[in-house]
């Protein structure tokens, strides 16, 4: 199951807003009482605070986004330093292409 922040991000995007633009208008909180994260404060203009039922509908898209973000991080680490990549391209672009393709094939996005 996706985390609350990602589901809220998807809810905002579905309503033509972004989490980055609204970050000062939303406070997510966890009281460490075993109940998990929740929306503590919501003051987004022209958009009501989502219900738990509404957020559940964004779970699949949010889970996919989180998985793809993890893949991007794995790929970024495997690609290595950009300077080294440029050097590799200069020396042998075909070898670089093959290496990058093998990294992408080993770490597919959804």
Distance set, CA 21 to CA 7, 26, 46, 105 (Å): 16, 10, 14, 34
What pTM does this model have?
A: 0.80
Query: pLDDT, tens digit, for every residue of 66-110?
Result: 999 999 999 999 999 999 999 999 999 999 999 999 999 999 998
Domain ranges for the chain, please list them: 4-79
Question: In this structure, what are the phi and psi dihedrals at residue 30, rounded to the nearest 5 degrees?
Answer: -135, 120
When the candidates are 3.90.1480, 3.30.56, 1.10.155, 1.10.3470, the CATH number that belongs to 4-79 is: 3.30.56
Query: pLDDT, tens digit, for every residue of 32-41?
Result: 999 999 999 9
For 39-55, give one letter per residue: b (16+ CB within 10 A) or e.
eeeeebeeeeebeeeeb
């Amino acid at each position: 199951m996706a985390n609350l922040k990602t589901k809220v991000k998807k809810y905002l995007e579905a309503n033509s807003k972004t989490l980055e633009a609204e970050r000062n208008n939303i406070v997510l909180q966890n009281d460490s009482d075993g109940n998990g994260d929740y929306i503590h404060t919501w003051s987004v203009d022209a958009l009501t605070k989502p219900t738990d039922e509404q957020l559940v509908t964004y779970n699949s898209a949010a889970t996919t986004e989180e998985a793809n973000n993890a893949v991007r991080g794995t790929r970024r680490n495997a690609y290595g330093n950009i300077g080294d990549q440029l050097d590799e391209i200069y020396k042998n672009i075909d070898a670089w292409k093959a290496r990058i393709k093998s990294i992408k094939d080993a770490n597919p996005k959804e």
